[in-house]
Amino acid sequence: MAIYKKCIPTSYYTSIYEIDYDNLKKQGITTLLFDLDNTIINYDETKIDVKRTEFLQELEKDFKVLIISNSKKKRVSYAVGHQFSFVSFARKPFKVGFKKALKKLDSKPSETVMIGDQLMTDVFGGNRIGLKTILVEAVLRKSDKIWTRINRKLEVYFLNKIKKKEPLKFDEILREYAKKYE
């Protein structure tokens, strides 16, 4: 299947706070995988603060929650503390980290959502392994690091491709997100 098709998220929200979690629950979703950097905290922050920890703990009443990050263990374990399960150095969009996460939680792809700020890692990777994927706006885009900046250039390429090949889906899901590149 063409790569661009795997880069289309199931849905898009401006932040993790806007996501319709009740609806996910109704759809039979049991498991939420969150990216860390620029999804929960920005790259300049080192720790998930109390407010955001409480928000995620609230979600844990209804879902299994795990943080899956391409960052190194040192950064991820410090940011997450002992509050949540995590997989660090996940190498998204490769499947290995996702498989590790699903195994850890004993969850199936069909009941799991990947939530993250990057089309080329979180969405592409999640879709490849059969998860639902939710794209969110970066917490603070100017804190993106070099690899992410490169991925953002790829994003533009694939957004244009999706716009051309899947105009209806682009309009429905990605128009708002793509605006910042106009």
**CB closer to Mg ion out of 38 and 133:** 38
Residue among 29, 108, 95, 106 nearest 68 (CA): 95
Q: Minimal distance in Å, beta carbon 118 to Mg ion?
A: 5
**CB closer to Mg ion out of 111 and 144:** 144
Which of 35-64 are b and which e, b meaning 16 or more Cβ less than 10 Å from the residue's Cβ?
A: bbbbbbbbbebeebeeebbeebeebeeebb
Q: Minimal distance in Å, beta carbon 26 to Mg ion?
A: 27
**CB closer to Mg ion out of 37 and 111:** 37
Q: Minimal distance in Å, beta carbon 87 to Mg ion?
A: 14
Residue among 88, 22, 9, 113 nearest 59 (CA): 22
φ and ψ at 78, to 5 degrees?
-70, -40
Contact, 21 vs 28, CB < 8 A?
A: no
- 137/12 Cα distance (integer angstroms): 8
Residue 155 touches Mg ion, criterion: CB under 5 A: no
Residue 137 touches Mg ion, criterion: CB under 5 A: no
Sole binder of Mg ion in the list 37, 111, 137, 144 (CB under 5 A): 37
Sole binder of Mg ion in the list 38, 107, 127, 133 (CB under 5 A): 38
Sole binder of Mg ion in the list 4, 32, 35, 173 (CB under 5 A): 35
- 94/140 Cα distance (integer angstroms): 25
Binding piece for Mg ion, criterion CB under 5 A, among 35-43, 94-102, 103-111, 150-158 = 35-43
Which residues sit at the interface with Mg ion, rule CB under 5 A?
35, 37-38, 117
